[in-house]
């Protein structure tokens, strides 16, 4: 972590529908769900994207060990929020509504 003074603010949260716009799993028409947002490293873990194979030793929890497939994080700039109404990826703007910041999709103008 570089700077501890200001925490970056991202427009993508856990549980959002996103499309991958760059990389091996690029698909602009297939929305996927965000499992985790890693704020410090500016990365997201997306369901079914960037799957790696991890070799695990036998332990008390996993007595067999072997090869485990799991999702690895990708950079947050490689995903874009999915606009369900226009069925396209969309940028986000923040609008203040009675003291609260609300995320609004730029393509359709709908709230998230």
Is 76 a domain residue? Answer: yes
Q: What is the mean pLDDT of residues 74-85?
A: 95
How high is the pLDDT of residue 6? 84
Using 50, 70 and 90 to split pLDDT, how confident is the model at 8? confident
Number of structural domains (the chain) is 1
Is 90 a domain residue? Answer: no
- Domain extent, residue 57, equals 17-83
Is 65 a domain residue? Answer: yes
What is the pTM assigned to this prediction?
Answer: 0.85
Is 100 a domain residue? Answer: no
- What are the residues facing 90 on neighbouring strands? 81
Percentage of the chain beyond pLDDT 90 is 83
Can you tell me the distance from the alpha carbon of 32 to that of 55, in angstroms, rounded to the nearest whole number? 26
Examine the pLDDT at 3 and tell me if it is beyond 70: no
Is 41 a domain residue? Answer: yes
Q: What are phi and psi of 88, to 5 degrees?
A: -145, 160
Q: Cβ distance 50 to 73 under 8 Å?
A: yes
Is 4 a domain residue? Answer: no
Is 11 a domain residue? Answer: no
């Amino acid at each position: 972590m570089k700077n501890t003074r200001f925490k970056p603010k991202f427009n993508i949260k856990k549980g959002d529908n996103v499309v991958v716009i760059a990389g091996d799993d690029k698909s602009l028409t297939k929305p996927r769900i965000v499992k985790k947002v890693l704020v410090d490293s500016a990365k997201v873990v997306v369901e079914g994207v960037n799957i790696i194979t991890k070799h695990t030793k036998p332990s008390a929890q996993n007595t067999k060990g072997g090869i485990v497939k799991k999702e690895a994080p990708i950079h947050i700039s490689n995903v874009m929020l999915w606009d369900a109404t226009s069925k396209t990826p969309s940028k986000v703007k923040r609008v203040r509504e009675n003291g609260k910041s609300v995320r609004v999709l730029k393509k359709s103008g709908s709230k998230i």
